[in-house]
Homo-oligomer: A and B are copies of this chain.
Amino acid sequence: MTLGEEPAAEHAHTTAWIASVLRGRIAAGRLTPGSKLSEQSLSAALGVSRNTLRQAFTTLAGESIVTRVPNRGVFVASPGAEEVREIYRVRRTIEPAAVLWGEATPEALNAMEAIVQRAQAAREAGSVADMAGANQEFHEAVVGLTGSSALRALMDRVLAEMRLVFYAMASAPDFHSHYVSRNAGLVQRLRAGQNELAATELREYLDAAEAELLEHLTGVAQ
């Protein structure tokens, strides 16, 4: 739990294990955007060969969690304004499509409503992290309506990049709380079978979120 790495738990795929460890550290904010991941130090710290670490790097680079600069090394991705725009291009495409054409079964809607309630509870408790987590879970559930694992994986990557955006921002504004009630409204629309209305509202939602994020991003940095 400290800083040491002692697991040494022989795993089938050491490379996948290492990749997941790094993914977790980045997601948890222990490795901030822009940090350099030195092969030498990391291989020593994790107790694996430089070679397997390298393999883990290629998988993480494939997930665009990490960027590779030739002969310079790998760095934790530090998304800027352009990356944010790209993120919302993706979200504005697949999320409304999911609510419009996805299979909103009663079970799926119940699960989404449960997530919304968890987000509301977290908001009232003042736990920003939990609220942000529940919010991301909600949007993942939205994409899950398509039933496609590939789209879900893409959304995972996009949300991971979103987390990096938040870590890269100096000041962390109250970004999620505005949107919790909108999520609740979205579920209601879907329950009523008003999919088209839900889709257009979600697109406006995403437009607003992107604008807010971009404003905060360009206002602080660059």
Q: A90 on the interface (CB 8 Å rule)? A: yes
- Give which listed residue, B59, B102, B154, contacts A150 with CB less than 8 A: B154
Q: Which residue, of A51, A58, A203, has the highest number of chain B Cβ atoms within 10 A?
A: A58
Please give the number of chain A residues whose Cβ is less than 8 angstroms from any Cβ of chain B in the complex.
32
Q: A54 on the interface (CB 8 Å rule)? A: yes
* Bound Cα distance from A126 to B26, whole angstroms: 53
| Known contacts A62-B62, A94-B151, then 6 further A-B pairs from the complex at CB < 8 Å, ordered by chain A residue | A55-B55, A59-B62, A62-B63, A90-B146, A93-B97, A150-B157
* Complex contact B158–A93 (CB within 8 A): no
Q: A96 on the interface (CB 8 Å rule)? A: yes
* Bound Cα distance from A70 to B15, whole angstroms: 12
* Bound Cα distance from A101 to B154, whole angstroms: 19
Number of copies: 2
A-B contact pairs, 21 of them (CB 8 A): A12-B70, A51-B51, A55-B55, A55-B58, A58-B62, A62-B63, A86-B150, A89-B146, A89-B147, A89-B151, A90-B148, A90-B151, A93-B97, A93-B101, A93-B148, A94-B97, A96-B97, A96-B101, A101-B203, A150-B157, A154-B154
* Bound Cα distance from A58 to B51, whole angstroms: 13
Residues of B contacting A98 with CB < 8 Å?
Answer: 93
* Bound Cα distance from A58 to B18, whole angstroms: 14
Q: A92 on the interface (CB 8 Å rule)? A: yes
User: Chain A interface secondary structure, helix, strand, loop or mixed?
Assistant: helix
Q: A30 on the interface (CB 8 Å rule)? A: no
* Bound Cα distance from A205 to B89, whole angstroms: 24
* Bound Cα distance from A149 to B154, whole angstroms: 12
* Complex contact B151–A93 (CB within 8 A): yes
CB neighbors of B among A137-175 (8 A): 146-151, 154, 157-158
Q: A13 on the interface (CB 8 Å rule)? A: yes
* Bound Cα distance from A158 to B149, whole angstroms: 12
